[in-house]
Structure 1
């Protein structure tokens, strides 16, 4: 169906008119009033009073529409006229109640559009963890399976869309900041954007993705429960019939295909999670690196001779652009010309801006060492010695093997359970904690409040858990 068949041909005209900002403010007031009303609709006089207060507070000057001869001067006439025009455009409707009072209502499509505008203007932080937890709890709640489509599959499908749309928006937001760096900005603006990025993205959305419980903890169960719906014939048939009832689909086989498509889409989304987060990681690192490098370049480049000349030229260009009576095609004033005296230098001296190159004589490079002949036995002994040395290193592989031995058939141990007798044992515990914070590690760590004292060493206790991938 064409959208204009639903909303009407003139629905979007207020948003392209010269008074689009006022129209949007009025719609926001109507929307907020409509949501807060417990009864059906808003009393017209109450709404006119609220709109009048808006025009009074905003000190909006006289308004004259092109298609009307009347000039709107007072706040009430502005409020009633804008309300009437919004009705003509299809944003609101009038309804007469039993007591003959006019009520203002908003059509469902108008509510949806205004809500979308407000979401764009004031974006809210998505709680990724709560969305994942709701999807997980919905799929694992056996009581909901008596109506599997409306109570399980449909809400899970919608929340999955919302979750991954939120991740893609985060990816796009970082991309916007990266592109802004290449714009014509000063070092101060880049540093300001850097802190703004940290406040809005780095310390909030991105931080939550990297520090909260990972989606992989729930992913296998979510995918498994969705496959159960596909494989259990009775549950699947009830899901298809539920789709037919809710979505008004008469053909059983079409409904069956749609249900399978929804389940496949959810599974594919959760499988692509690592790829999306990896892309977000790359963009986050790229932004941090580019912002620092760009700011460093601008800060350093303004302190050398080339940077100072560039700053002077920039200032002169800004002066010309600010003065309408002058333009860049006119001759510069004598005062400006006196600043520059450019001519060919012809030779290099100690006062030249160009550094004089220092010539060096290239000599043959002497051999650093002579190869040492080793017998096969000596070579094998050396290989064994290096191998033993590598086994004793605190590499990620060695530490993960040690933790795997500690966990054995358990899912969790405490750091305080690890035997510590020497300084080397304590260093190993430190490396266990460091590697455990990486999402690519085979185990995870979680800090506890208790301070442990062992063999003269003190450290904060932490849990060591096996990570399931």
Structure 2
């Protein structure tokens, strides 16, 4: 559909005129009036324009505008002209109420644009969004409810929230790219620091990336979301009931169309949560690291390129800081700067790093190869591949867990070197995501048969459905 089939042809003309700043301010006043009350009397909008844009109206020239001499004479007339101009271009409509007063009504396209313009002017980051938690919460509440409509609505809510999350991630990724372009134009150290810590730190990291890592974490809620959706989609009777509820809610024209729509949305949400970490979050992390490195390099270049008194003094102090015996250098610069050497004691004051000594090439020492060492290495490698591989460690841990699914250090049985080595390998392999068990280190140590290991708690993982 053509855009101008939905909006008036001259809607954006006021934003391309010489007085576009004044019109933009007037639209922001219209947005304030729209948000303050349900019904907007035209006189109220007129009073708000006069009070909030008094100075702008007085300074405006209105050259090339179709303003009357009467309207141009004072601020009241200019405010009336603004109302007439915005009305003629389609930013709002008028209706007469039962009290015969004129009221302003804002069409849907205009309210959407006013919201966008206000957000751009406000430039305040989004706070407190919770798309992932909102998806999980809606599905969890619906799963505990017997109302089939709640489950159907939760599926559509999960789809909408996931789409909103993808949009936020795309916006964050491209916003980081935007900060790269801004940084290229910066030539002052303070400007780069302000952009990095204030703009990027607050508007990107604190507003979006930090919630994705802590509060609205995808890895935290991914499995519960997918589990609930899978259980619903695999229940044929429930799926038919969901389709009937969607048909009654006019989500589709036929029962089969509603069924396909529900299944498509469920599979789409599940697929997105499988790929969102790799396709979006990891890529955003890489861009953040690249931007941080670029900022550091930019600061280093700007600092090293500063040949003013501040830059020279910085270079001089850095050279003095690297030189342990700077007394002679301090004496040389005393006529220019009144500098004094200061020293202090620390825990490393009596220790100096050992300086590497250049190796001297000597005559090679020939080692007779008896063949025993090579054979021993082959036997050791074979022993590691057979007795201490991952399968052997997993089998040993399963033996410790038994039917209970949990064991502690006292249950391992440190009888020989092999059991001691297996306990250490169990701790190392328990950190892998594909391991069938979790290893938790408790406080204290456990000693048996002269073998000492930390107090461990090993639990078998529950298999996901």
Structure 1 length normalisation: TM-score? Answer: 0.65
Q: What CA distance in whole angstroms lies between the structure 2 residues aligned with 1:464 and 1:204?
A: 38
Contact in 2 for aligned 1:55/1:75 (Cα 8 Å): no
Query: Does residue 160 in structure 1 map to residue 162 in structure 2?
Result: yes
Please name the residue that 1:172 is paired with: 174
Please show how residues 54-65 of structure 1 align to structure 2 within 5 Å: 54-58=52-56, 60-64=58-62, 65=64
Q: What CA distance in whole angstroms lies between the structure 2 residues aligned with 1:105 and 1:445?
A: 64
Count of matched residue pairs: 382
Query: Does residue 277 in structure 1 map to residue 273 in structure 2?
Result: no
Deviations 1:52-103 (A, max 9, x none): 1012254641442533343624222222211122111111111111111111
Please name the residue that 2:328 is paired with: none
Q: What CA distance in whole angstroms lies between the structure 1 residues aligned with 2:182 and 2:404?
A: 50
Which shows bigger deviation, 176-185 or 282-291?
Answer: 176-185
Please name the residue that 1:220 is paired with: 223
Contact in 2 for aligned 1:244/1:250 (Cα 8 Å): yes
Please name the residue that 1:198 is paired with: 201
Q: What CA distance in whole angstroms lies between the structure 1 residues aligned with 2:183 and 2:397?
A: 43
SS in 2 for 1:95: strand
Please name the residue that 2:355 is paired with: none
Please show how residues 351-362 of structure 1 align to structure 2 within 5 Å: none
Contact in 2 for aligned 1:145/1:151 (Cα 8 Å): no
SS in 1 for 2:217: coil
Query: Does residue 107 in structure 1 map to residue 110 in structure 2?
Result: no
Contact in 1 for aligned 2:148/2:245 (Cα 8 Å): no
Please name the residue that 1:182 is paired with: 184
Please name the residue that 1:418 is paired with: none
| CA shift for structure 1 position 136 | 0.8
Q: What CA distance in whole angstroms lies between the structure 2 residues aligned with 1:56 and 1:102?
A: 23
Contact in 2 for aligned 1:7/1:109 (Cα 8 Å): yes
Q: What CA distance in whole angstroms lies between the structure 2 residues aligned with 1:63 and 1:301?
A: 46
Q: What CA distance in whole angstroms lies between the structure 1 residues aligned with 2:10 and 2:405?
A: 63
| CA shift for structure 1 position 288 | 1.2
SS in 2 for 1:194: helix
Q: What CA distance in whole angstroms lies between the structure 1 residues aligned with 2:260 and 2:77?
A: 56
Q: What CA distance in whole angstroms lies between the structure 2 residues aligned with 1:208 and 1:441?
A: 28
Query: Does residue 380 in structure 1 map to residue 376 in structure 2?
Result: yes
| Cα distance change, pair 232–468 in 1 and its aligned pair in 2 (3 A) | closer
Query: Does residue 266 in structure 1 map to residue 269 in structure 2?
Result: yes
Contact in 2 for aligned 1:138/1:156 (Cα 8 Å): yes
| CA shift for structure 1 position 48 | 0.9
Which shows bigger deviation, 43-52 or 116-125?
Answer: 116-125
| Cα distance change, pair 257–467 in 1 and its aligned pair in 2 (3 A) | closer
| Cα distance change, pair 201–413 in 1 and its aligned pair in 2 (3 A) | farther
| Cα distance change, pair 202–62 in 1 and its aligned pair in 2 (3 A) | closer
SS in 2 for 1:182: helix
Deviations 1:350-384 (A, max 9, x none): xxxxxxxxxxxxxx976676556464357637996
Deviations 1:365-416 (A, max 9, x none): 766765564643576379969x99xxxxxxxxxxx999999999999999xx
Contact in 2 for aligned 1:93/1:107 (Cα 8 Å): yes
Please name the residue that 1:75 is paired with: 75
| CA shift for structure 1 position 267 | 1.6
Q: What CA distance in whole angstroms lies between the structure 2 residues aligned with 1:201 and 1:63?
A: 40
Counterpart selection for 1:290 from 279, 288, 294: 294
Q: Unpaired segments of 5 or more residues in structure 1?
A: 309-363, 389-399, 415-431, 447-451, 456-462
| CA shift for structure 1 position 184 | 5.5
CA-based RMSD of the aligned residues comes to 5.0
Contact in 2 for aligned 1:229/1:236 (Cα 8 Å): yes
| Cα distance change, pair 215–184 in 1 and its aligned pair in 2 (3 A) | closer
